[in-house]
Structure 1
Amino acid sequence: MFAVHARYRGRERRRADLVRRSAEALSTLDGVGRFELLGVEDICAVVDSAEAVTDTTMALLSAGDWAIGIGIASNSGAEPDEVRKLATAAIGRRCRTGVVRVRSQSGGDTSGITAVFALLAHVLAKRTTEGREATQLMRGGMSQNEAAAELGISKQAMSQRLAAAGWTAETAGWKLAVGLLRRAEDATERD
C-alpha cells in the first residue's frame, strides 16, 4: 500500500485554490484515491499501485513547485492512516521543491527510489512546451504516427521532439521507479 503527500512550495497568490484544483485533478488518475486537503498547502492520498504512485509523482514533478513524500506499507497489515503518516513523515518540514522523499514501514533503504525520481525531475524540468505536448500524447497511448498527426507535424519532427524531450530516459526511469517501488512494497510484506 502506498500514499503520496504533496506540499505546494510555489508563490501562487491564490495558493489554496491551486492546491484544491491540483488535488481534484490528481484524484482522477487511475489507481489514485481521493486527495485530501491537509491545510492550505498540503494534500495526501492513498494510492493503489506502484504505477499509480509513479504517475502521480511525475505529474507533481511536471507541474513544479511541489515537494513530495511517498509512504510504503504492507498491504496485509497496514491501515490507510498508517501509510498516510509514513508519507507525511517522509516529506518532513523542510522538503524542497522537486524533491521526492520516501519512507517505508520496513525501514528499508529507499535511496534508489529517491534517486530515480531526482533524475526524472531533471528530465521533466528541461522539457519545452512542445516536448510536453509530444510526451503527453505518447503517455496517453498514441503511437508516434498518431501523435504527429494530432500535432500536425511530420513523423520525423515528432521523433525529434521526443528525443529533445528525453522521452527514452523518461520511459526507462518510469519503469525503474515502478520496479523499485514494487520491491520496497514486497519488502514490507516480508517483514
Structure 2
Amino acid sequence: MLLSTVDHLTTQIGELDRLITRTLEEITTPPGSTVARDEVAGVSARTLAQKLDAVPGIGPTIAQNILAEIGADMSRFPTPEHLVSWAKMCPLTIQSGAKNTSGPAGKGNPWLKGALDEAANAAARTDTFLGARYRRIVKRRGHAKALVAVARSILVIAWHLIGDPDASYQELGADWHRRHLDPARKTRDLVRQLQALGHQVALSPASA
C-alpha cells in the first residue's frame, strides 16, 4: 500500500514538473515570435532559471516562482525601482508637516513575496554580499526590516538578470561594504555612537 502511494505521488510530481516547464515556456516566449517554441522558450526558460539560481538564497523552485510571477518581459518595468514598487516592497513615506516617517509597503503579490521571503531567509545565513547586507541592517533595524531589504535587493538583481541576456550574477563578497566604506562616514558614525554613550570626542589628524 505504501509503495503504491509513493508511485502515485511520484507520478503527480512528474506531472507538475511538466506543467511548470510548459508554463515557463509560455512565459518566456516572445509574443508573435516566428521561431519554434522549443527553440526559443525552452532554452530561454532554462537559462533564466539557471541565472536566477546562481543568486544566494534562490534555488530552482524559487527561481521558477519568481519567473512565474513577474514574467520575462522587463520592458514593463523601465527601472528596477518600478519592479520593486509594483511588488509593493518600497516602504511608504508618510508626511506630517515637516516630519517624514515610514509606513507599511502594502501586500503586493503574495506568491512573489513568499518566494522572495524564502530566498532572503536563506541568503541571510550565507557568507555573501546579501548575507553581509542582512547582518549590517539587522543591528539597527531589526530582523523583519533586514529581511525585506535583502528581498528587495534580490528582486533588483532578478530585474537585471532577466532583462539583460548577457548579465550573470557576480558575487561581490561579504567584505564588500568594508572595502567600499567611506572613512569619513564611518568616523561620523563612531563619533555619534560614543557621544550617545556620554563621551566627549575630540578628533585630531592622523600622524604622517
Q: Which has the higher contact order (CA 8 A, sep 6+)?
A: 1
Quick check: which one's helix share is greater? 2
Quick check: which one's strand share is greater? 1
Give the TM-score, by structure 2 length: 0.29
